[in-house]
């Protein structure tokens, strides 16, 4: 039986993307060669990467001044590449959890870091809202969806004309993005796009080249923008899968259609969490609840049944829904490729479990 994959990342991919990739691994574009053994500069792969760039621009409605590049190193490399390229003196950060902290740590190597607000004292169960961002910051940085804690900032933050940089690793392609204030958006592909190995970077071209420091060639966004992600060998296979995922997104109706389905899926599960006496959500502020990563625990009276529920749901075909060790309980990741039937199966399992007790 195919399992229902709620894993936080690497995570579920569409059947379409998996099948198309499997075919190309055997015979890529009728070349008689595997996708894994062809030149990245050959005309077949060049067509793939160009189509992937174009289709991602089309789906997210990315403005002209931006370029889409595919880089290695994971989202984590962006924690240092972003300040390397954009931090001259001082940058402001919103501390919403582990991933934001990793970005803060790297930025400190390049300049002054100002943390405008933090929900750390409450184990990141909400997103801080009232804070000032000093106008002399080179940019404001935040992580839009906190994969571990299940909190999400659902609209694009802006502070006057200050440039904004965002880690959208776990919610890119879940909603429409207003690019007006962003200079840089990045996302590790393994949550909502492709297998691990490629990072999607969307960078404003006119914002590059402003810092005074020297930047190593591979860590300079300009290198990859100028060479259209072909400065060195890009991660060929994940880029191929990213294209298949993008084709599937377009076929589903594009970004607004994806957002609508995601909201429906999340509402279905949150509704069960709120109404089933055995469970409770971990995010204290409901408007901050992520539509991608739904975190919940057993209600206090049923704490000792956590392992039993885990075994029960596993036996029913669910996989990858254990909460992160820093939160505990359960985390159901409802990325784009998760069908509503998968969420319904989890909800039914929660109902059945409650009926047994």
Binding site for ligand PLP (CB under 6 A): 9, 74-76, 99, 143, 147, 167, 169-170, 188, 191
Between residues 173 and 279, which has the closer beta carbon with respect to ligand PLP?
173
Q: Which of 99, 138, 156, 183 is catalytic?
A: 99
Query: Are the C-beta atoms of 137 and 90 separated by less than 8 Å?
Result: yes
**Residue number with the shortest CB distance to ligand PLP?**
74
Per-residue tokens: 200 = 């999607």
The single-letter DSSP state of residue 31 is S
d(CA 113, CA 96): 15
Provide the minimum distance between the beta carbon of 349 and ligand PLP in the complex, in angstroms, as a whole number.
25
Residues 283, 270: Cα–Cα separation, whole Å: 11
Query: Is position 99 annotated as part of the catalytic site?
Result: yes
Minimum distance, C-beta of residue 4 to ligand PLP, in the bound complex (Å): 20
What backbone torsions phi and psi does residue 135 show, to the nearest 5 degrees? Answer: -65, -20
**Residue placing its CB nearer to ligand PLP in the complex, 21 or 170:** 170
Nearer to ligand PLP, 322 or 351 (CB): 322
Q: Identify the active-site residue in 138, 183, 191, 220.
A: 191
Instruction: Give, for 84, the enclosing helix (H) or strand (E).
Output: helix 74-86
Q: Closest distance between ligand PLP and the C-beta of residue 144, in Å?
A: 8
Of 95, 138, 167, 171, which is the active-site residue?
167
Smaller CB distance to ligand PLP: residue 74 or 328?
74
Active site residue 191: yes
Give the C-alpha separation, 6 to 24, whole Å.
26
**Taking the complex as a whole, how short is the minimal distance between the CB of residue 277 and ligand PLP, in angstroms?**
31
Is the CB of 221 or the CB of 353 nearer to ligand PLP?
221
Q: Cα(294)–Cα(273) distance, rounded to whole angstroms?
A: 10
The answer to whether 164 and 137 have CB atoms below 8 angstroms apart is no
Kind of pairing between the strands at 90-95 and 112-118: parallel
Task: Please report how close the Cβ of residue 159 comes to ligand PLP at its closest, in angstroms.
Answer: 21
What three-state secondary structure class fits 66? strand
Beta bridge partners of 135: none
| DSSP-assigned letter for residue 189 | T
Identify whether 167 is a catalytic site residue. yes
Alpha carbons 238 and 24: distance in angstroms, whole number:
12
Catalytic residues: 99, 167, 191
């Amino acid at each position: 039986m195919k399992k229902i994959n709620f894993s936080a990342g690497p995570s579920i991919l569409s059947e379409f993307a998996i099948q198309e990739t499997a075919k190309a691994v055997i015979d890529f574009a009728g070349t008689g060669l595997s996708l894994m053994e062809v030149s990245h500069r050959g005309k077949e792969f060049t067509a793939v990467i160009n189509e992937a760039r174009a289709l991602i621009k089309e789906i997210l409605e990315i403005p002209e001044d931006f370029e889409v590049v595919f880089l290695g190193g994971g989202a984590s490399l962006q924690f240092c590449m972003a300040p390397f390229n954009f931090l001259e003196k001082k940058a402001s950060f919103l501390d919403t959890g582990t991933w934001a902290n990793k970005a803060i740590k790297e930025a400190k190597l390049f300049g002054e870091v100002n943390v405008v607000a933090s929900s750390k004292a409450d184990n990141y169960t909400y997103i801080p809202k009232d804070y000032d961002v000093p106008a002399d910051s080179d940019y404001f940085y935040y992580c839009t969806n906190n994969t571990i804690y299940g909190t999400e900032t659902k609209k694009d933050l802006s502070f006057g004309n200050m440039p904004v940089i965002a880690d959208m690793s776990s919610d890119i392609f879940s909603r429409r993005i207003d690019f007006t204030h962003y200079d840089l958006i990045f996302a590790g592909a393994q949550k909502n796009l492709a297998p691990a190995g490629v990072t999607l970077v969307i960078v404003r071209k006119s914002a590059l080249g402003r810092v005074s420091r020297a930047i190593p060639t591979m860590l300079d966004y300009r290198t990859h923008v100028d060479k259209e992600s072909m400065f060195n060998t890009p991660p060929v296979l994940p880029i191929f899968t990213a294209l298949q995922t993008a084709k599937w997104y377009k076929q589903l109706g594009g970004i607004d259609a994806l957002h609508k389905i995601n909201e429906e899926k999340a509402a279905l599960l949150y509704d069960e969490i709120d109404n089933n006496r055995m469970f409770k959500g971990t995010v204290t502020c409901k408007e901050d609840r992520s539509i991608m990563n739904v975190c919940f625990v057993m209600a206090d009276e049923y704490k000792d049944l956590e392992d039993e529920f885990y075994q029960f749901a596993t036996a029913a075909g669910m996989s990858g829904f254990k909460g992160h060790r820093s939160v505990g309980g359960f985390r159901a990741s409802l990325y784009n490729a998760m069908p509503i039937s998968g969420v319904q199966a989890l909800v039914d399992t929660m109902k059945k479990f409650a009926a047994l007790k």
